[in-house]
Amino acid sequence: MRRTPVYIVCSPRPDAGKTILARLLTEFLLLQNGSVTAFDINLREPSLLDYLPELTETAIISDTGGQMALMDRLILNDGVAKVVDLGFHAFDDFFRIVSEIGYMKEAARKGTEPIILFMAGSDRASTRAWSMLHKNFPRIPIVPVDNEHVLRGALPEIYENSRPLEIAALPAFLKSVIGRTNFSFTEYLRSTQDQSSELHKWIRANYTSFRELELTLILHKM
């Protein structure tokens, strides 16, 4: 049976590392599958469209036409993985729309597989949002992302029953390298001669984590 995963990368707060994760995941899916479609729902922060314009479409959920256009694409079981970079300002509206139109139930009927990648945080907005997602979407995989740039030390207790996706911290000078809009994670892997470099190992570790997550989700569906 054809799989069409839809990864919703989200956080209710800014500066959580969400777009970096969306970039990594989009490039990984392109490398692995040969195709991927990303959707950018960001208005007030650096966004996926700035980094991967050839793979990314701008999505608008402020009007009914934009909402339906996006949901029609996300419900389509076409075998092309989707990545949604959901800006913090649109977090509440997006999941309200998803609930109101019954997207999750329709996705299950169509064979599309939504997965929520939630940037874990210890602040009140994050813990409330995490609880809301579990309450409203109990049948959907919700994966906490332990970004060491944001969370230092153990994950807060509220996330302890879920296996996290871990993103290791990088030194400041390497963060500035990957922050360039023309930087490609996959091209770096292909072009660098030093496979023992910290950045090379960091990218490979993240790609391996994505592959392990995929396998876990496939086995869970069987």
Domain positions in the chain are 4-221
pLDDT in tens, 97-153: 999 999 999 999 999 999 999 999 999 999 999 999 999 999 999 999 999 988 877
Q: What distance lies between CA 106 and its chain's CA centroid?
A: 21
Q: H helices of the chain, where?
A: 18-33, 48-51, 64-75, 91-100, 103-110, 124-136, 172-178, 185-191, 198-221
Residues sharing a CB contact under 8 Å with residue 101, sequence separation 6 or more, in sequence order: 67, 71
Question: Which tens digits make up the pLDDT trace of 52-62?
Answer: 999 999 999 99
Q: Is residue 21 scored above 90 in pLDDT? A: yes
Q: State the pLDDT at residue 80.
A: 96
The model's pTM: 0.95
Write out the H or E segment, with its range, that includes residue 166: strand 165-167
Q: CA 117, 3, 12: angle at the middle one, nearest 5? A: 15
Confidence label for 77 from pLDDT (cuts 50, 70 and 90): very high
**Rounded mean pLDDT of 36-47?**
84
User: What is the average pLDDT value for the chain, to the nearest integer?
Assistant: 93
Instruction: Work out the burial of residue 18: count CB atoms within 10 Å of its CB; fewer than 13 is exposed, 13-18 middle, 19 or more buried.
Output: buried
User: b/e per residue, 175-211, with b = 16+ CB within 10 A?
Assistant: eeebeeeeebbeebbeeeeeeeeebbebbeebbebbe
Residue pointed to by tokens 């392990």: 212
pLDDT for residue 78: 94
In whole angstroms, what separates CA 170 from the centre of its chain?
19
pLDDT at position 100 is 95
Topology of domain 4-221, CATH: Rossmann fold (3.40.50)
User: What is the pLDDT at residue 1?
Assistant: 65
C-alpha 72/C-alpha 57 separation (Å) is 14
